[in-house]
Each structure stands twice: as C-alpha cells, then as structure tokens.
Chain A
Amino acid sequence: MDLGVKSTPYTSSNASWKSAADAVPGRFPAGLKVLVVDDDPTCLRILEKMLKNCLYEVTTCNRAEVALNFLRDHKNGCDIVISDVHMPDMDGFKLLEHVGLEMDLPVIMMSADDSKQVVMKGVTHGACDYLIKPVRIEALKNIWQHVVRKKQHELKDKDLEHSGSVEEGDRQPKTYEDADCSHSANEGNWKNSKRRKDEEDEAEDRDDTSALKKPRVVWSVELHQQFVTAVNQLGIDKAVPKKILELMNVPGLTRENVASHLQKYRLYLRRLSGVSQHHNGLGSPFMGATDAQFVSMSSLNSVDLQALAASAHIPNHSLASIQAAALGRATSKSPIPLPLVDQRNIFNFENPKLRFGEGQNESSSKQVNLLHGVPMNMNSKQLSSLHQSALSNMNMHTHPQTSQSSSLMMQMAQLQPQLRPQNLNDIKGSRNGIEIISGPQYTSHPKPSTSADFTSQSKDFSGNKAFPLPCNSGMSGAVMKGSRAFLPNYDVLNNLNQSRNQEWRMQNAGSSFGLPQHSSIQRGLDVSSSLGESRILPANKASLSLVEGHGNTPNVSQHLNFPAYDKSLRSKAERLPGMGFQNGLLHERFGQEDLMSALLKQQQEGMVVPVETEFGYDGYQLDNLPV
C-alpha cells in the first residue's frame, strides 16, 4: 500500500493474521500487525527489520498524519502502534492521543530522550509502553503483550457491563487460554479465538448484534457526540451501555463497543477531575455537589481550551500544546487516552450555534470537538450535564466571539448533539466577554471588555447554560467556562463553568485575562466571594460557594482590581507549568473571569481583564489532522 507508507504485505482482513499464524503454527504472536511511525529513516529501517525478525507484520510511516490516515482507512489493519516522540509534523503524544481515542489501539512511544518528564508524559497520555532508543530487538519481541492486555481489558469491560451472563466469565478464561496456548488445534489464530468470544458475547447479549467479526469501532466525532448525548440524557450515574446503545441507535454498534468506550470516558472524566482536584487542591468541602461540576469543568477545560483555541483561531500547535499541557497535567490518573480532539473537530464550530448576544467570533464556525473521541466516562453527573450544556451552548450558534466561550460549549455541543439554545438567551446581553487568548495571537488583543455571561450551573448544565463568551474575533476568550474546560490547568474555567448560573461579566478588553496560571477555581471563587459580588452571582450561593471552593481565578488576579485577591488566589492557584498556553488560552479561566469581571465591574467600570496565559507554548504542534 502506498500512502507514503512502506509496508510488508499487508491485508486488512483477519485473513492476513490468520494466514500468518497458520503459516507458522504455534508461533503466536507472529503476524501481529505493527505500525511504526518515525521521521528518522535510519531508525525506521532498523525497527522494521527488527519487527520483521519477530515475525510481525510491519507497516512503516515517516509522518504522523499519514499514519493516522492509514489507521483510519484500515480499521483492522493494525494491532499496535509504535511512535517516536519527536517528529516534525506532529508531536508523538498528539498522535498517541488520536490513536487512543479514535482507534483505541495500544501505542508504544519511543525516544532517545529518557528523561523522567518525557516518560511520564507518555504515561499520562496513555502510552502503554515507552522505549528508549536505541531500541533493542528484545524490547520489541514482547510488544504483543500490550495487544493481548488491551483485549483482555476490553473483554472484561464487556463482562462488567454485561447484564450478567455467567458464561462470559467462563468463556473468558477459556478464550485466553486459547490465546496463550499457541498450539491449540483450532486456536492457532489467537485473534480468532478472541473474536469468537466476542462474537459469542455479542450474539448472547445483543439483539442488534453486528457482524460476526468484531470490527474495531472508530469513535468518530459524530459518534462520540451521540454517545455523550446519550450518556447525558441518561445521567452519568445511570448511563449503562445497553441504554446508551439504545439511545444512540447506531446500527452495527454493539453494547461492548459502548461499554468499553464508556469505561474510557469515565476514566477520562475521572482523570480530569482528579487533575483538577489535584491542582486546585480542592478540598472535600467544595467537592460535594460541585465536584462533579468541577470535574467536568476540568475536563471541559481542556476541551474548552481547544475549542477556544479553535475559535480563537489559535494556531494549531498552540492548541495542541495547550491540550497537551492540559492533558499532561492530568497525571494522577492512569493513562487514559487523552481526548485528543481532532483539530478539525475542535475548530469546527458549525454546530454550536451559540447565540451570544455579542458578536460571536467566527470561531463559532468551527466546531470544536474537543471531546471527540474522548473515551471519557463522565464520572459525574455534572460532567454530563456540563457536556450537555456545553453542547447545547455550542449548538447555539454564536457569533464568533461568543463562540469562543462557547467553544467549550461547542465542544460540549459536539459531544452532545442536542443543544438547547436557552442558554443563549442569557448570553444575549453579554458582550465579548472573555477573550481567550490563545497563544501569541491573542495576547495583544485588546478586546472591548465583554461580559461573558456564563450561566454555568453545575447542576443545570444540561443545556441551559449558555456561555456567552464574548470573544472578540476569533478569540474565544472565554473558554467555555460553562463547558468545563477540560484542561485541568484551567481550573479556573472549570470552576467557573461549573458554577452556576452566574453571570460573569468579563471585561475583556484586550484580550488577555491575566490568568495567573492557576486556574484554581478556588481563586476565582475567592475573588468573587471576596468581592462579595453577588450580583454576578445572582446565582445560588451554591455556585458561589463552589466558586469559592475552587478558588480559581488566576485570571482575576490579573485584574488590577484584585491585587489582593490575586495573592490569595495565587496561593491557591496552581501553576500549570506544563501548560504552554498563552494568555489567550486561558479562556478557560473564562468562567472565573466572567465572575471576576462581573465583580470587577462593580469596582471598576470598564475594567478590562486581560487574559494572559502565562504558559508558554511548549511547542506542541497541533496539526490539522485530516480525518
């Protein structure tokens, strides 16, 4: 196959695997399909030879985008991916995320760089292994274990989700045995045996079962949106695969597919919330009812960030970096594939028609689908609701500017096709609230202060929040706070979003909110509370408290008005060192900013909250991945 991809005779069907296995009976894992991505031709050649010597089927690629296209075009064409970390066209971690989200394949990272941070990054991004170059053949001999392990987990997931078929459990060990027993008569093809089990599973518990062969499901943007919508409809706690599947009503999708995706989704959400919590140091008090929101905010933050970035026309790489940073921050969780949202998704604001009163920036035209392919599990209702609201917000088409804020929302919207424009009404009056400055572009945006009305109500997220992100052109300054940025770093945003229906007036004069990087929501909350701003938070005290709890507001700190607050906030704020976000990106903080801005307004008319992200870009290249 020639997509600039050199490959050994490759067939996408099982047949190749089977024949390879049959050809060398008892030699599992021979025939394992490996895709190697490395821009260094010397390394690529060596790896190819090594893998061939391991009797694997090798496809090589020197560009990440080509590799992704290959994977997308050949659904069963690959069992495992090995990728270099440093590549010119796309960062290896980004590729890792994409693969994890879209194709759910195990990915091994490799690099000559053996520093702890990089290895950790691999872990947090969901790599199943990390090899140090120069790679030895011994290291490659055992990569099949990652494939088996993953399959095992998937089957286990199915088991868990399964409505209780005892047989499954019985079958499982048997299947695995078969897999391991390379000389079993029928099971020369271990994969087949697994498939068989899958088939049995499917036949057993699914009425609308798919084909005999269990094809790998690609969780496209749309599919994921449907998924998230369904999850939100059911409520994150009540979302069971069967029901989700029914709601989604996608032919050919099996409960198992949904189950494993749900698991990932939950892990993702958990991770995001965990990161936020970690970063914000949110104490339990705040997490009560709000954690979910909070978590969702975190999760959304990253999404928002991207969305905002997208809307803000953030250069791809900055978005990527932000995302990477955001994702990278989520360290506590197990390697969950980061919801790598296709750039195009992110920048795809079409759907979200956020109706922001203000001029919505063109970003709205891009739908940000940060959550695309994110196998996250909303571990909290809030998250679901956030998503919903985000989506709803997103659906509301807003002007480009607002779209920024809605970028988050959009993302959510993407996740959830149903948008409720109701929120938009709230936003109507908002002026470009927050400008999300993503990276350099926004830093110098002096945007008219806009007030973003973020009606983020943690509980009410479902589509009621319109996060008016008055973003000036392209700057989704306010990351959809409402939508809970997924960026853990932007706790602020999270907090804000989660919050409540408060109206955040973001004075976004120019564009950058001084976001003191710590998006600790707490800060924001502190600020708001300190400001005693109730008008901004007409909302429930709950939200306020939430805000307080989160104390985010690094952004606010930037406000001159809150120098004092800054300090207090700062203390809580967490640094997001990894975030290479520029001020513009702090749109996430957006929520907080809004709040703050509202508060600030009181104090100072026409205060502009510059959103400055203190994060420098860490050089991730966010490429537009053609899908």
Chain B
Amino acid sequence: MQRQLANMKQSLFDQGYLDEQFIQLEELQDDANPNFVEEVVTLYYRDSARLIQSIEQALEKSPLDFSKLECLMHQFKGSSSSIGAKRVKSECTQFKEYCRVGNSDGCKRTFQQLKKEYATLKKKVEVYFQFARQIGPVEKACRSK
C-alpha cells in the first residue's frame, strides 16, 4: 500500500504534474498537522476557483484588458506555484506571455489548456490524498519522501 502510494506520487512527478514545491509541502507535514498538504491543496482549489472565474469573465470582454488579465494570472500563478502545480504553472506563464504581446487568441487558447490541466491535477491529487488517508497516519509518517 505504501509502495503504491509512493508510486502514485512518483508518477505525478514524472508526468510533470507536480514539482519540487510539493515535496516542500510534504516536509512541512508532521504529527500535529498530518493532513497539511491536503489542506493546502484544498485551500488552493477553493481560492483559485474564483480567480479562474474572474479570468474567464475578463476573457469575455472585448477588447481584452491584457494588463488586468496579466495581473489576475500573476496571482493565479503565484498560488499554483506554491503548491507545486507544475503544468498549471507553465500554462500560466504562457498565458502571461500572450498577454504581454497582446495576443487574444493565444490567451484564450492557453486558458482553455490551463483549465484542463487544473482539472486534471485536481482529480489526480484527490485520488492521491484519498489513498494516503486510507493508508493511515502511521504509515504516512514512515512514508518515504
């Protein structure tokens, strides 16, 4: 079971969904906060949902307000990077770049891509956390990093 969990995590890393920052979060987890990572990720998804919505709304305007979009995306990128959402983060970077050059289509396309990555990651980590919880705290503590 433990190995399964480890494999799961490893594959998330291998596929580029998560990066080093996620490990940092895991290292913060301890007996006092055994579900710290899950809490943070949950918090992230909750908070970023409204950002996603704001961006969506902004993308519907015409013409696009690139500086506002860039600003929103900057916030979103900051959040995403702090939980180690690697793919999401790179989409953010791409989006910001399109904003910078004023490429509306690029922005919209990238945003769709971003939402996909965002949703995929969410599902994957949910599975991961569920599994981790099942394993139990004892094993969690022994879980190899």
Contact = CB atoms under 8 A, between A and B. Distances in A.
Interface in B69-99: 71, 74-75, 77-79, 81-84
A427 interface: no
A237 interface: no
Contacts of A46: 25, 28, 40, 82-83
Nearest to A47: B82
A407 to B, nearest CB: 30
A53 B26 CA distance: 12
A317 to B, nearest CB: 14
A42 B43 contact: yes
B24 A136 contact: yes
A39 B71 CA distance: 14
Contacts of A53: 28, 30
Interface string B34-73: 0010011001100110000000000000000000000100
A43 B39 contact: no
A45 interface: yes
A50 to B, nearest CB: 6
B130 to A, nearest CB: 20
Given A40-B79, A45-B39, A86-B75, A134 B44 contact: no
Given A40-B79, A43-B78, A86 B71 contact: yes
B24 A45 contact: no
A17 B82 CA distance: 29
B23 to A, nearest CB: 10
A137 interface: yes
Contacts of A135: 82
A115 B33 CA distance: 35
A137 B23 CA distance: 11
Contacts of B74: 86, 112-113
A133 interface: yes
Contacts of B82: 40, 42-43, 46, 133-135
Given A50-B28, A136-B24, A45 B78 contact: no
Interface string A140-157: 000000000000000000
A137 B81 contact: no
Contact of B27 (A39, A111, A113, A137): A137
A49 interface: yes
A84 B74 CA distance: 12
Contacts of A133: 78, 81-82
Interface string B9-29: 000000000000100110110
A108 to B, nearest CB: 16
A45 B40 contact: yes
Contact of B28 (A39, A49, A86): A49
Contact of A40 (B21, B30, B33, B75): B75
Nearest to A113: B74
A133 B47 CA distance: 17
A134 B79 CA distance: 8
Given A40-B75, A46-B82, A137 B28 contact: yes
Interface in A242-262: none
A370 to B, nearest CB: 28
B94 to A, nearest CB: 15
Contacts of B28: 46, 49-50, 53, 137
Interface string A37-72: 001111101100110010000000000000000000
A41 B25 CA distance: 15
Contact of B47 (A40, A134, A137): A40
Contacts of B43: 41-42, 45
B139 to A, nearest CB: 22
A45 B36 CA distance: 10
Nearest to A137: B24
A450 to B, nearest CB: 36
A137 B74 CA distance: 22
Max chain B Cβ within 10 angstroms of own Cβ: one of A46, A84, A86, A111: A46
Contacts of A42: 40, 43-44, 47-48, 79, 82-83
Contacts of B24: 50, 134, 136-137
Contacts of B77: 112
B11 to A, nearest CB: 22
A226 B78 CA distance: 43
Max chain A Cβ within 10 angstroms of own Cβ: one of B48, B77, B82: B82
Contacts of A134: 21, 24, 78, 81-82, 84
A504 to B, nearest CB: 38
Nearest to B47: A41
Interface in A507-556: none
Contacts of B25: 46
A84 B82 CA distance: 13
A42 B39 CA distance: 9
Max chain A Cβ within 10 angstroms of own Cβ: one of B74, B77, B79: B79
Contacts of A113: 74
Contacts of A137: 24, 27-28
Max chain B Cβ within 10 angstroms of own Cβ: one of A39, A50, A112: A112
Interface in A101-118: 111-113
A388 B111 CA distance: 56
A261 to B, nearest CB: 35
A52 to B, nearest CB: 9
A571 B81 CA distance: 45
Contacts of B30: 53
Contact of B81 (A45, A84, A86, A112): A112
Nearest to A49: B28
A86 B84 CA distance: 20
A46 B30 CA distance: 13
B78 A112 contact: yes
A113 B43 CA distance: 22
A255 to B, nearest CB: 44
A280 B62 CA distance: 42
B114 to A, nearest CB: 15
7 contacts: A40-B78, A40-B79, A42-B79, A45-B43, A86-B78, A134-B24, A134-B82
Given A39-B75, A40-B79, A45-B43, 16 more contacts: A40-B75, A41-B43, A42-B79, A43-B78, A46-B28, A46-B83, A49-B28, A53-B30, A84-B78, A111-B78, A113-B74, A133-B78, A133-B81, A134-B21, A135-B82, A136-B21
Interface of B: 21, 24-25, 27-28, 30, 33, 36, 39-40, 43-44, 47-48, 71, 74-75, 77-79, 81-84
Interface of A: 39-43, 45-46, 49-50, 53, 84, 86, 111-113, 133-137
4 closest A-B pairs by beta carbon, nearest first, are A112-B78, A42-B44, A134-B82, A134-B21
